[in-house]
Structure 1
Amino acid sequence: MYTALNRNWLIRNKLYHIPFWCIYHFTWWSIAIGGPLKAAGVLLFSASIIKFSFYVVFQAIAVYFNLYFLIPRYLEKSRFALYITFLILTIAGTSLMITPGYYLSASFFDQTFSQTYGSFYNCLGEAIPSTIASITLAMSIKLTKNWLQTESRKQLLEKEKLETELKFLKHQFNPHFLFNSINSIFFLIHKNPDMASASLAKFSELLRHQLYECNDQQIPLHKEISYLENFIELEKLRHDTIVETAISLETFYADQMGIAPFILMTFVENAFKHVSSHTDRPNRITIELTQDQQQLTLVVANSTTEQTGNQITHYGGIGLNNVKRRLDLIYPGAYHLDIQNENQQFIVTVQLTLSVLQYSQETQMTAI
């Protein structure tokens, strides 16, 4: 919604554009009159500065009205008929608002309007093409800027994806994780063969997911949830201390929704990594995953000690700043991250706006 806050922000951050529009119109003025020196003399020592100001002010208003109101509300939402209609009205209205500048300029020359500029239609004949040119130029600059930002973000995302995959693999497939998991399963073989068999299956699924199912930028939500469940069960199995866990993973349309791989895993892993090791009171981990339409919310809480509470700054071995950066790249403007560390409890709440999964050809072949 285009609120007063948006307008204030726009005014504060676009004031530096005023010199650009002055130079832009002065350039056209110089071409029309026959040189920059002659144009500067006319503007500084005649009433033509009034007409010039009307062009600068009202065309700038039209440009930003188009960029920050018409385009987001109509063009980006594919409401083309309404956009074209309102754009034509904007051009016409701007041209009409420019024409009083001609009348004021003529009055300062002590001449009638018809003696100075001919007719009202002559003024419109100058104002309308000039307004169209200004709006077209601004749209071209804006679209080029957006395209460059999108390409830059894609390149950063690809680089970040490769780096993240390497860091996750390096962290997850370290000897400590592998040997502890395998040893836990080994001891279960004689103690509880059924549990050992189930744990081995989970361990196998965990490795398969990391090796083969995370190559796309997005994976089905249900696969990420299955990975979380397997990881949680293995962590509970191999954890050295007694930990009380409360797990709730409730989602809907998990087959249709897509999510970036490992984006939730980091927070869950951190809870097990930094959970307290009290001997006189319970050690708790709570994981709650809920979904409301396309809004996915994960709340992870773990008990901590005073010594470890302030050290929880490195999630999953890649660092809190890298996690936020990955969220910024993958879900720009579509996530909320809240971190609280108080009363010997560390709570992370992350909300993501998911999108419908777009299956790649490789994913479709795998599914078949």
Structure 2
Amino acid sequence: MNNDITKRGSLIERLLFPRTQGLRISYHVLFWVLFILLHYSYALPTILRKASDPSVTVVGFFYFFKIIPEYYLCVGLYYLIRSYVKGILLFLILFIFALAVNHVFSVALYTGVDYVYGLETMPERMRAFAKLYLAPFDFWEPSAWLVFSNDLSEVQFFVLPAALKTAKYAANERFMRQKIQDEALNMELKALKSQINPHFVFNVLNAAYAKVLPVSEEGAEYLQKVSEILRFTLYEMNDEFIKLETELAYMKLYVELESVRSNRRCHINVEQYGEIKDTYRVPTVSLITLVENAFKHGVHSTRHDSFVDIRITVSGGLLNFDITNSKPSQPLRSKSGSGGIGLVNLERRLGIYYPGRYSFEKLETESEFSIFLKIPLLEGIATLVEPWSMLV
């Protein structure tokens, strides 16, 4: 049954999310053609007496056609401000912008109709609206404000495309969630197949610790830290989110192990600011992935001195995690870039967990590679998607 569901989901996914730009454009064109025909046929009874007049047909077409650029202007504004404005304020800004854009396009339409055909050739209802839009606006005249009531009624044309966009967004969220769950199941199956080996190593390390402790406390301490890291990978990585304090604890443990591994030739600086609440959650191994990348592509790619600087700031329900590592002047092995698949996967996860609400910036110079991460700190079970962000 699960296979059938997967197959049906894949078919629906291909239909909703075409893989080529050409198909996407075709879908959009088809939708707007049907949109105009539907609304024009609905309005046909009001212009029936003049429907045989070609000019009326052309004007009727452009009356509904103007909704297309209006809608995409609203979508463009959404993508411009979604990182700065959230929730109900975002919705209000888009709504007011839609009213303003509709008013401007309506004035342009009626001005063009009057210039090309003359308003006297148009149906009576259209002439009445044109008179409202083209008349000089008198702030103190109550009837002058009727034009904005018409703008308000015409915003209803945005409901259908916005609803479809919302449905598509929701479906995309569902597919992405399903993909994450499928990948997690695959990883779990692989982990189960090889679980005996990590457990065996874990037990051996504990036994080795007891043997090494009388000989070398430093060596025993190193084995204990390795054992803690292994315990973390076995028991703490099952959930998508983890306590921030736990993630940071194992990140610092990883840093200590890497410091020993690099024979102290790496200067490591970790700074932490702000209060960390017990309820704060972050994606599991998100921070450790960034630290591992810094050591892999900076410290362990050279035999010379190197550095890793980490700055952690918690403020206003946000986590700022900045990490900078030195770049080797003569790498031990050639690389195509400073990043790897770990960073790609991490950024993909962030896009799913915090759509439009995170910042992931990379800065590279000849001698340094930096990553600046900013994410909201979820508390317990939180909503990852704001409802107003799905309206466009």
TM range (shorter): 0.5 to 0.7
* Residues in 2 aligned to 1:338 and 1:23: alpha-carbon distance in whole angstroms: 44
- Conserved in 2, the CA contact under 8 Å of 1:258 and 1:354? no
Equivalent in the alignment of 2:377: 356
* Residues in 2 aligned to 1:25 and 1:130: alpha-carbon distance in whole angstroms: 17
* Residues in 2 aligned to 1:167 and 1:248: alpha-carbon distance in whole angstroms: 34
1:301-312 matches, cutoff 5 A: 301=326, 303=328, 305-310=330-335
Aligned to 1:49, which of 47, 58, 63? 58
Secondary structure of the structure 2 residue equivalent to 1:216: coil
Aligned to 1:247, which of 251, 254, 269? 269
- Conserved in 2, the CA contact under 8 Å of 1:286 and 1:302? no
- Conserved in 2, the CA contact under 8 Å of 1:271 and 1:302? no
- Conserved in 2, the CA contact under 8 Å of 1:297 and 1:352? yes
Give the partner amino acid of 1:262. V
1:59-78 matches, cutoff 5 A: 59-69=67-77, 77-78=87-88
2:118 equivalent to 1:93? no
- Conserved in 1, the CA contact under 8 Å of 2:229 and 2:254? yes
**Deviation sequence 1:43-97 (CA, Å, 0-9, x none):** 7x4453134324312x334434544447967995214995697379459837953
- Conserved in 2, the CA contact under 8 Å of 1:51 and 1:105? no
Change (3 A) 1:186 1:311: farther
2:214 equivalent to 1:190? yes
Equivalent in the alignment of 2:306: 284
Change (3 A) 1:283 1:167: farther
* Residues in 2 aligned to 1:287 and 1:189: alpha-carbon distance in whole angstroms: 32
Normalised by the length of structure 1, the TM-score is 0.65
2:22 equivalent to 1:25? no
- Conserved in 2, the CA contact under 8 Å of 1:287 and 1:299? yes
Where does the alignment leave 5 or more consecutive residues of structure 1 unmatched? 1-12, 362-368
The alpha-carbon deviation at position 231 of structure 1 amounts to: 1.9
The alpha-carbon deviation at position 161 of structure 1 amounts to: 4.5
Give the partner amino acid of 1:266. T
* Residues in 2 aligned to 1:231 and 1:268: alpha-carbon distance in whole angstroms: 8
* Residues in 1 aligned to 2:361 and 2:205: alpha-carbon distance in whole angstroms: 31
The alpha-carbon deviation at position 227 of structure 1 amounts to: 0.2
Change (3 A) 1:292 1:240: closer
Change (3 A) 1:302 1:75: closer
- Conserved in 1, the CA contact under 8 Å of 2:202 and 2:227? no
* Residues in 1 aligned to 2:203 and 2:259: alpha-carbon distance in whole angstroms: 15
* Residues in 2 aligned to 1:153 and 1:66: alpha-carbon distance in whole angstroms: 26
Secondary structure of the structure 1 residue equivalent to 2:322: strand
The alpha-carbon deviation at position 141 of structure 1 amounts to: 1.8
Moved more, 92-101 or 133-142: 92-101
Change (3 A) 1:320 1:107: closer
Aligned to 1:338, which of 355, 362, 368? 362
Moved more, 225-234 or 98-107: 98-107
Secondary structure of the structure 1 residue equivalent to 2:249: helix
The alpha-carbon deviation at position 150 of structure 1 amounts to: 1.9
Where does the alignment leave 5 or more consecutive residues of structure 2 unmatched? 1-23, 133-146, 383-392
**Poorly superposed stretches of 4+, deviation over 6 Å:** 13-16, 70-75, 122-125, 127-130, 164-171, 173-184, 311-314
Equivalent in the alignment of 1:228: 251
* Residues in 1 aligned to 2:266 and 2:78: alpha-carbon distance in whole angstroms: 54
* Residues in 1 aligned to 2:105 and 2:224: alpha-carbon distance in whole angstroms: 72
1:292-307 matches, cutoff 5 A: 293=315, 294=318, 295-301=320-326, 303=328, 305-307=330-332
**Deviation sequence 1:256-284 (CA, Å, 0-9, x none):** 54321112223433454561563xxx443
The alpha-carbon deviation at position 226 of structure 1 amounts to: 0.7
Secondary structure of the structure 2 residue equivalent to 1:202: helix
Equivalent in the alignment of 1:365: none
Secondary structure of the structure 1 residue equivalent to 2:284: coil
* Residues in 2 aligned to 1:187 and 1:312: alpha-carbon distance in whole angstroms: 43
The alpha-carbon deviation at position 30 of structure 1 amounts to: 4.2
**Deviation sequence 1:168-211 (CA, Å, 0-9, x none):** 9979x769986997798577523433x45644553443233323
The alpha-carbon deviation at position 225 of structure 1 amounts to: 1.3
Change (3 A) 1:132 1:182: same
* Residues in 2 aligned to 1:85 and 1:337: alpha-carbon distance in whole angstroms: 31
**Deviation sequence 1:132-157 (CA, Å, 0-9, x none):** 44211121122112212222222233
Alpha-carbon RMSD across the aligned residues, in angstroms, is 5.0
Give the partner amino acid of 1:290. I
Normalised by the length of structure 2, the TM-score is 0.61
Aligned to 1:137, which of 150, 160, 170? 160
Equivalent in the alignment of 1:3: none
1:162-173 matches, cutoff 5 A: 162=185
Secondary structure of the structure 2 residue equivalent to 1:265: helix
